[in-house]
Amino acid sequence: MKIIKQFKKSELFATACIYLILLLNVFVFKDSPIAFISAFFGITYTILAGKGTPICYIFGVMGSSFYGYLAFHNALWGNLLLYMGYYVPMQILGYFRWQNYLKSNSYEIVKTSLNKKEISWLIIISFLACLIVAYILTVSKDKSPIIDSITTVLSIAGMYLTVRRAIEQWWFWMIVNGLSAFMWTKIALSGEKVYSTVIMWSVYFLLAIYFYATWRREIHAE
């Protein structure tokens, strides 16, 4: 109940609508059950992470595991390695780390922001890493080496910033989620029944914008 109280009525209504759309998608378009389950856990994780609630990571581990299966099935090796080799361990770490930064008498974390030097180094390292990963994925015959490399590298940075409770994570998630929505739309148009995954990434993109604005207001108010 404490977690529910963190939500506005409009946020609860919007969340319920998202879940309803996912369910209708399964029955109307005969979407993959794995895609639906992955989307359900993934969207729940993102919403709870945006609210700064440590329990989000439990849903994150589940969502990452099911998404890893989808990535394997569609030969997205960068995404597979990212989710199973990095996201799952980091989400376990994040759960315990966030427990140490809860507000008093609350189940919500204290948000932070990076300084200019940290932001500059993060951008430079991310750019160089994208070039290296793009080359590796091209050699590995990845279906979408450019997009997959960018989403993989920026997701690593985004997850790191999430565990650090930094508002700048949402910049990275906007890029990652927008490109991922585009990538999975191409896969869906090719005949794969992964519509829930397209919806998931589109919702992620909108949530990143919303929670960036929310965290920004909260940090400036402190």
> For residue range 147-161, what is the model confidence (pLDDT) as tens digits?
878 888 999 999 999
pLDDT value of residue 111: 92
pLDDT (mean) for 200-206: 91
For residue 61, give its domain range.
Answer: 4-221
Burial annotation 77-109 (CB, 10 A radius, 16+ → b, else e): bbbbbbbbebbbebbeebbebbeeeeeeeebbb
pLDDT band for 180, please (50, 70, 90 cuts). Answer: confident
For 57, the 3-state DSSP assignment is helix
Question: Do residues 82 and 137 make contact, with C-beta atoms less than 8 angstroms apart?
Answer: no
pLDDT (mean) for 123-130: 94
CA distance 146 to 217: 34
pLDDT value of residue 70: 83
pLDDT value of residue 2: 64
Q: What is the DSSP string of 23-40?
A: HHHHHHH---HHHHHHHH
Is the pLDDT at 170 greater than 90? The verdict is yes
The tally of domains found in the chain comes to: 1
Question: Do residues 122 and 114 make contact, with C-beta atoms less than 8 angstroms apart?
Answer: yes
Nearest to 102 by CA among 168, 53, 166: 53
What's the angle, vertex CA 197, arms to CA 194 and CA 198, rounded to 5? 95
Is the pLDDT at 80 greater than 70? The verdict is yes
Q: Which residue has the higher pLDDT, 27 or 214?
A: 214
